């Protein structure tokens, strides 16, 4: 059953309890000042700028708003309001009190936020800089690792550390190990020493080992940070004279097992442990150009739908953990969706259009790494074209009804390919979903470009390899029902492992390593007695008692 008090991912700067946002000379200053009594759930205090999911929900909101609401911002500084403490990482008492599924979902969302920071630095011209004025431990240093530059006060006390293994018998939960060696290119032997030293490293050695970028005397940290940030912002290609668009709260109504958004509906079937997610296509032709997109702002259909889908996925992830299958459907005019994609392609140089495309890329990546079985249904009246076709390609399997349904006046289901399927929405492996699908035949991806402008029926879609099965009206309901029922009967743990292994064929990247290893270690180490047992490190942390480990290597 859903929790009585669902976790809500909707927030805004005037509601922040843990962050302060200030804008100056093309630079945004995100200052961490965690409210000790502002935990998402009772039972723990967020001391020493430690964080829980609530702190990270605000950070994710700020990262998103800076991209859409402030095109004039070319650099973002993350810093701390506290003296001698930057951030002590995820709150240990919170982890000790949390269920396993909450811990895993918390770490996954936190890492998606770190990836959004890196995406903003690499693709949106908003480069992130971390200014550390004290201890940056565990998740605090992992937040710094997501930034492009790390500045550290050279005061003999400020330090960076990843102390999870020596102190808690677990590992850094948001990509710390991978970012050390893959992003910052820290030598393996140096990384080994660093990750087994609870107090971490400071000063010259931290810089020599590539753990930070620059040492700054404490008296000059604020001024030097400002100088570096303003110089970085001046180099950004962001349109400093452009006007941003406001992101109002996502509208959502929960009525029993139905969740309604303006452009999306979720129907939960608890008996089958499934949620049917229906995306509604556009009802009007797209605006003429980027200026008209700007005038529509957050109401622009593609942006509004992405926000609805993003919120729905996060709600289901954290609040409906027993709903293991997402059945993805759509309703609308595929030709209209194709027209919206044509607008995106035509206006790709515009900053706002670029941000909308990048947001869809991140939203689809969130779908890719969601620990749910994904089944797409392409039915009469659906509108899986271009951007929305990516949802079919992201699914673990897809069913497309061949022909029409007796007694219905809806036209036969079709699929439409657009230019948006061939580059703008890469997966975490760096490939498009089409390229990942056809690793065995890369030439076929180029051949599919000949299908632009065609409404592919079930036979054609099957011939081109775009769907899994194409039952007719007689077999449709039975095949879909059996697929959903079968999923509900399997082990959720086994499904999570299988799906995560199968979704990311092809090359391995820092991103796929992070999520693959995150799933593996959290679903094992986080449940081992050495970490979470009665005498495990997480349970005894802060008590002064020594953990008792099972010494066998498995």
Q: Does residue 257 sit in the same domain as residue 143? A: no
The pLDDT score that the predictor gives to residue 522 is 66
Q: Does residue 314 sit in the same domain as residue 448? A: yes
The DSSP annotation for 275-291 comes to EEEEEE--SSPPPSSHH
What CA–CA distances, in Å, run from 136 to 30, 95, 151, 158, 159? Answer: 16, 18, 11, 8, 6
Boundaries of domain holding 371: 253-501
Q: How confident is the model at residue 169 (pLDDT cuts 50, 70, 90)?
A: confident
Q: Does residue 227 sit in the same domain as residue 266? A: no
Mean pLDDT of 277-302: 98
SS (H, E, C) 163-232: CHHHHHCCCCCCCHHHHHHHHCCCCHHHHHHHHCCCCCEEHHHHHHCCCCCEEECHHHHHHHHHHHHHHH
pLDDT at 286 over 80: yes
Of 207, 234, 261, which residue constitutes the final position of a domain? 234
Q: Which of 87, 229, 202 is nearest to 144 (CA)?
A: 87
Q: Does residue 547 sit in the same domain as residue 488? A: no
Q: Does residue 462 sit in the same domain as residue 528? A: no
Which residues does residue 19 pair with via DSSP β-bridges, in sequence order? 32
**Proportion of the chain above pLDDT 70, given as a percent:** 98
Residue 406 domain-assigned (yes or no) = yes
Tally of domains in the chain: 3
The pLDDT score that the predictor gives to residue 172 is 86
193-223 pLDDT, tens digit each:
999 999 999 999 999 999 999 999 999 999 9
The pLDDT score that the predictor gives to residue 519 is 65
Q: Does residue 395 sit in the same domain as residue 360? A: yes
Residue 493 domain-assigned (yes or no) = yes
What is d(CA 169, CA 529) in angstroms, rounded to the nearest whole number? 10
Q: Does residue 485 sit in the same domain as residue 539? A: no
What CA–CA distances, in Å, run from 72 to 40, 294, 347, 444, 539? Answer: 33, 15, 19, 42, 47
Of 181, 200, 234, which residue constitutes the final position of a domain? 234
Burial label, 412 (beta-carbon count in 10 A; 0-12, 13-18, 19+): middle
The pLDDT score that the predictor gives to residue 539 is 80
Q: Does residue 230 sit in the same domain as residue 258? A: no
Rounded to whole angstroms, the maximal C-alpha distance in the chain is 78
Residue 247 domain-assigned (yes or no) = no
Residue bearing the bigger pLDDT, 281 or 98 = 281
Q: Does residue 430 sit in the same domain as residue 532? A: no
pLDDT at 462 over 70: yes
Tell me the average pLDDT of the chain.
Answer: 94
420-448 pLDDT, tens digit each:
999 999 999 999 999 999 999 999 999 99
Q: In the block, which residue shows the tokens 């009206």?
A: 473
What is d(CA 107, CA 101) in angstroms, rounded to the nearest whole number? 10
The pLDDT score that the predictor gives to residue 523 is 66
Residue 510 domain-assigned (yes or no) = no
Q: Which of 176, 181, 232 is nearest to 210 (CA)?
A: 181
Mean pLDDT of 496-509: 90
15-60 pLDDT, tens digit each:
999 999 999 999 999 999 999 999 999 999 999 999 999 999 999 9
Q: What is the token pair recorded at 405?
A: 């349904």
The answer, as to whether pTM is greater than 0.85, is: yes
Q: Which of 158, 157, 156, 161 is nearest to 145 (CA)?
A: 161
DSSP 147: S
pLDDT at 493 over 90: no
Residues sharing a CB contact under 8 Å with residue 154, sequence separation 6 or more, in sequence order: 203, 215, 216, 217, 218
Q: Does residue 214 sit in the same domain as residue 363? A: no
The pLDDT score that the predictor gives to residue 125 is 97
What is d(CA 171, CA 253) in angstroms, rounded to the nearest whole number? 38
341-376 pLDDT, tens digit each:
999 999 999 999 999 999 999 999 999 999 999 999
Residue 8 domain-assigned (yes or no) = no
Q: In the block, which residue shows the tokens 């729905």?
A: 312
DSSP 526: G
Residue 554 domain-assigned (yes or no) = yes
What is d(CA 211, CA 262) in angstroms, rounded to the nearest whole number? 46
Q: Does residue 335 sit in the same domain as residue 465? A: yes
pLDDT at 524 over 90: no
pLDDT at 2 over 50: no
Residue 24 domain-assigned (yes or no) = yes
The pLDDT score that the predictor gives to residue 4 is 60
Q: Does residue 471 sit in the same domain as residue 326? A: yes
Calculate the CA dihedral of residues 181, 182, 183, 187 and round it to 10 degrees.
30
Residue 511 domain-assigned (yes or no) = no
Worst-scoring range by mean pLDDT, 71-85, 161-175, 506-520? 506-520
The CATH number of the domain holding residue 60 is 3.90.226.10
Write the Ramachandran bin of 315: left for phi over 0, alpha for psi from -120 to 50, otherwise beta: alpha
């Amino acid at each position: 059953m859903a929790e009585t008090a669902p976790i809500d991912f909707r927030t805004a700067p005037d509601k922040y309890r843990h962050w302060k946002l200030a804008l100056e000379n093309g630079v945004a200053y995100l200052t961490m000042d965690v409210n000790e009594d502002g935990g998402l759930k009772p039972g723990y205090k967020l001391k020493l700028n430690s964080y829980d999911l609530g702190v990270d929900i605000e950070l994710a909101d700020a990262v998103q708003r800076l991209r859409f609401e402030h095109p004039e911002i070319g650099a973002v500084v993350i810093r701390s309001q506290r003296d001698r403490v930057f951030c002590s990482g995820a709150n240990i008492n919170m982890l000790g009190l949390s269920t396993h599924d909450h811990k895993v979902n918390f770490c996954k969302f936190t890492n998606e936020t770190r990836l959004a920071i890196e995406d903003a630095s690499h693709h949106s011209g908003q480069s992130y800089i971390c200014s550390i004025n004290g201890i940056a431990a565990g998740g605090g240093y992992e937040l710094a690792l997501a930034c492009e530059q790390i500045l550290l006060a050279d005061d003999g006390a400020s330090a960076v550390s990843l102390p999870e293994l020596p102190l808690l018998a677990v590992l850094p939960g948001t990509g710390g190990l991978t970012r050390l060696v893959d992003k910052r290119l820290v030598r393996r032997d140096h990384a080994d020493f660093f990750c087994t030293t609870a107090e971490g490293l400071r000063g010259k050695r931290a810089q020599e080992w590539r753990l930070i970028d620059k040492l700054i005397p404490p008296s000059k940290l604020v001024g030097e940070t400002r100088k570096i940030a303003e110089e970085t912002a001046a180099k950004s290609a962001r349109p400093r004279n452009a006007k941003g668009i406001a992101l109002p709260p996502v509208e959502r109504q929960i009525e029993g097992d139905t969740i309604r958004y303006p452009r999306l509906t979720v129907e939960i079937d608890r008996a089958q442990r499934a949620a049917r997610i229906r995306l509604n296509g556009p009802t009007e032709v797209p605006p003429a150009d980027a200026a008209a997109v700007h005038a529509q702002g957050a109401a622009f259909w593609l942006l509004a739908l992405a926000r609805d889908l993003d919120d729905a996925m996060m709600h289901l992830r954290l609040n409906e953990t027993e709903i293991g299958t997402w059945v993805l459907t759509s309703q609308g005019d595929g030709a209209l969706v194709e027209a919206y994609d044509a607008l995106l392609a035509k206006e790709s140089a515009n900053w706002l259009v670029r941000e909308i495309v990048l947001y869809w890329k991140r939203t689809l990546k969130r779908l890719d790494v969601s620990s749910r079985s994904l089944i797409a249904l392409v039915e009469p009246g659906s509108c899986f074209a271009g951007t929305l076709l990516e949802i079919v390609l992201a699914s673990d399997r897809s069913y497309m009804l061949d022909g029409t349904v007796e007694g219905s006046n809806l036209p036969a289901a079709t699929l439409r390919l657009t230019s948006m399927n061939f580059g703008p929405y890469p997966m975490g492996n760096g490939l498009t979903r089409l390229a990942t699908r056809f690793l065995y035949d890369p030439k076929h991806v180029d051949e599919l470009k000949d299908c632009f402008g065609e409404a592919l029926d079930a036979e054609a879609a099957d011939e081109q390899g775009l769907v899994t099965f194409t039952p007719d009206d007689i077999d449709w309901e039975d095949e879909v029902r059996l697929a959903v029922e079968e999923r509900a009967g399997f082990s959720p743990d086994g499904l999570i492992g299988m799906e995560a292994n199968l979704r990311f064929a092809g090359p391995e990247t820092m991103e796929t390593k992070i999520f693959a290893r995150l799933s593996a270690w959290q679903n094992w180490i986080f449940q081992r007695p050495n970490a979470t047992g009665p005498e495990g490190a997480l349970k005894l942390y802060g008590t002064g008692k020594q953990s008792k480990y099972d010494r066998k290597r498995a």
